[in-house]
Structure 1
């Protein structure tokens, strides 16, 4: 027991130990090992932490790294104490078997390079090897026939692309419910617009087209100034309005047909109602007196001053739920609610 006690007294009282993972070196039982503090320089200190593989590691003044993890040439010579050279960092660890790893080669250095050709070998063989390796000979010139074939193929592809563009444009016209879709059928024009033919509709369009640029477009209850963008061309807006009057389709149905929103359909209809009211309302529909007298029938020879024959008619309608509207449309003559209309007829040339 006395020998053990003396042996323990000879032990070093220092409690320094290495902070590197998997390292059990301590100053208590290793007098030949030196311990070194982390450098003060921030960049070098971070490199030390990365090298010892410690994440989120807090370095203090008592944190040490033993000399086992440094190379022999990392220490300064001629000093009594073992001091590290400036800028060195630990490189020897248990995970690399205390051996310094060779530097990692660059991509260019790792790439396999072609062998140096033998001076005695044929030059053509070397050139064939290079062409086969690279896949292309930049010194070769394409034959004239190959160039002509490529140009011919290029022209054919261009013509195919142009044909596909035309087909796409035609398919858009066919699938879009617009005036151009029915331009070739007078029966469809008569069904959708009540105009006799497509030419009659175009004649009417030419009369009102100059005034369309001054059209005041409506946005719900607010009227916008002229020059706003259109969801449809102006002639298709007219076609939509005529379809609405002729067939009485719902606005949602028109929106699906013309591929616009239902609100846009409502705005277009309101806009064209006001536009045609002012444009057509300013046109005088009465024949001049001289023309009326020139075409009076023989039955009116005693009434040479006749200009127009008036007649009133009533069309029976559904009884409104509003009492105010009932009082306005009720007819004592028909004893029912009716719509009243005043017709005016002027004499015209007999066919």
Structure 2
């Protein structure tokens, strides 16, 4: 017996703590215990680490003079008292008494099932090495089959039924896997392609002239649309963050919005078609309304004088050489009657005999909508809406502007150097040839403008009354419908056919 080389340090210290898990012994609480450093020998130290079940890491470092194991974890035979009165442990000793092994009492091997069964039946357990088994089977004890019957061979009938049950479960699992795969493929396949197959389908559901035009539009908005923030998410945070997990493919979200705006489908119907909740439909439509308003509103749709000249039909060049646009007051859409009398008086239009909104649209001679004002209450005057919409700031000296016969804006145009083009006055019983051709050209331009406005009115969201609950986004929807109508192609002066 030799004393261990790592003597107990800090026997007189008051700051010794045991590093064994579930042990809170320290020198201050238990001064009669001894605390021992980890051995210097690497092999014995590794045995100590394995014994206490605590590997070294960021939260546990073995340091000389500060990492100890108390004497409570060593059996009495591994401890002895030195001549100086200090408790030491023998060379090569390893701690073995812990909380998880009942302080060394749980180290005995557990009795076998056979031994426990013999004891329960009151039969002495015989040691095979000391007693010879008789050749005769007479007097043999009955087999104990109550415990662990899985050790016995099952009957053939049970095997057959178990095999049949396993086959049934395997077929059920296979059927469910096929169903899951089918649903996954169905979920990943955009619903758009189920509804829109031909160009006519695209015109009905989306108001785009063809699949090709829709694809071009989708490819242009997809890079930014993939980072959309849902409307409800934008309410909770002030900074832009990636949107949460989507219920639908992104292209189906755009298709849902177009079905609501272009085809006029109600949100309840969309909820059934896309198999999402009504709140999800509302959130998607509000999000895409705000997004497309920002995207389309950032496009420079106002045409320069050079662009107007390059796209102007030949007949218009003869009589409106500097024509910039045709201004038209549009008195749609109708809205629900508010309960407030003051709001009723503001939104009531004597022209429509209903509460309505007013908006100003500018159309280039080629039929493209180049200006969209916001919507105003129906009681506002024509001159006031022309002044407030700031279309006059876009005109340059020398520009020519045509307006509806109810627009008395000639003086306002003269202030910015522009001219109002009106049909020539009849000074004689019969107009001259030149005046007749000019009148016809102006009339055709007005027809072209009517067709451009009709395209906007064909967005079926304006078929009924605008609910007061959507008044907050009605300006955005109005601008989107006007600007997206340009994607239907240019208007032919002889008919409403894209060329």
- TM-score, with structure 2 as normaliser: 0.35
- TM-score, with structure 1 as normaliser: 0.48
Please identify the structure whose Cα radius of gyration is greater.
1
